[in-house]
Structure 1
Amino acid sequence: MRTAVSACLLSLLFISNAAIARNDSVMVPLQPVMDQIAKQGGAVRFYFAKQATPEVAEKLSTFTVSRNGALRAEQSDACQKLAGQVIDQMRERAVSEGADGVVNIRSTYIKGTEVGTETEFECRIGNVRVAIQFSGELVKFKN
């Protein structure tokens, strides 16, 4: 009897944890990510949302990069670190396709919904994970 009660209480514990799972959307400042991009340098330039860009000669493609990671630090730090990793993936893609820049970068975590501005991006926070998804357009600029 005691084993059955223990098993029942244990299953209720697991069910209640699932019921209170966290999936919050927070807006995180973009400036620390932009500072990281500037430090790394490189030929590929990044423009978020409606930031003014040099004149575009050719649009190559639109693509999306998703990434998630452990929530081991302050949530905005974890989000900004993850955003830096997403930008690194975007840079690799741009280089492989011969692009000069990635423009119109926006948060697109929920399909069909675009969030973010020139100063903030969306980060999804769970109990133990953070997730980011950016979409952008690869372009070649006029010289």
Structure 2
Amino acid sequence: MMKKLHSVMALLVLAAAPLCASAADKMVKLPIAGAMAANNAQQRLDVGVKFYFADQPTPKVQTKITSDRTSLRTNGFGKSAETACNWVFLSAMLSLQKRAQEVGADAVVNIVSNFNDKEMASQTEFECADGAIMAGVALKGDFVKFAK
């Protein structure tokens, strides 16, 4: 019985190997506005923390508190790239928001995509690694307090 079970398990592993091998990430660029309109993002993000992408103009910065990054993945199986990427983008934004609240920041500025430490700066788009099984978004930014 155990020998049969091992044989079945070996066949399953061999059958799944091509799926894993073809799961390479394809980098896609998607609109930030679309991601912010999906998944109730506007309602889920705290209005007390503002977000500024790339070189967007900001109010006068009084203090740069710290810089930090987030890198998250989500299940992308059976989902369109847009659906999976918008979901994980929101998760990354919520992570930046939580960090901002922890350090007492008013905003996160200079937000750029930073997947595998390769920066992509845009005021209007973010980068997402879309794979057959997973989708991932990595962001980094500066946490600041604005002048009053």
Q: TM-score, normalised by structure 2?
A: 0.81
In the alignment, which residue of structure 1 is the partner of 2:21?
19
* Cα distance in 1, alignment partners of residues 21 and 101 from structure 2: 43
1:7 Cα deviation (Å)?
9.6
Consecutive unaligned residues in structure 2, runs of 5 or more: none
Match of 1:97 in 2: 103
Q: Is the 8 A contact 1:116 1:122 kept in 2?
A: no
How far, CA to CA, are the matches of 1:66 and 1:115 in structure 2? 14
- The alpha carbon displacement at 1:29 in A equals 0.8
**C-alpha deviations, 1:79-136, integer Å up to 9, x for none?**
111111111111111111110000001110112x101411100000111110111001
Structure 1 unmatched runs, 5+: none
1:28 is paired with a residue whose SS is strand
The answer on whether the counterparts of 2:22 and 2:132 sit within 8 Å (CA) in structure 1 is no
Q: Pairwise mapping of residues 63-142 of structure 1 onto structure 2 (< 5 A)?
A: 63-71=68-76, 72-111=78-117, 113-142=118-147
Q: 2:49 aligns with which of 22, 25, 44?
A: 44
- Correspondent of 1:32 among 31, 34, 46: 34
Aligned partner (choices 51, 58, 76) of residue 53 of structure 1:
58
Decide whether the 8 Å contact of 1:33 with 1:80 is kept in 2. yes
Q: Say whether the 8 Å CA contact 1:48–1:106 is kept in structure 2.
A: yes
Amino acid corresponding to residue 133 of structure 2 in structure 1: V
Amino acid at match of 2:59: P
Distance 1:7 1:91 in 2: 43
| Shift in CA distance, 15/92, structure 1 to aligned 2, threshold 3 Å | closer
Secondary structure of the corresponding residue to residue 85 of structure 1: helix
- What is the CA-CA distance between 1:10 and the residue it aligns to? 6.6
By how many angstroms is 1:74 displaced? 1.9
TM-score, reference length from structure 1: 0.84
Say which SS state the counterpart of residue 119 (structure 2) adopts.
coil
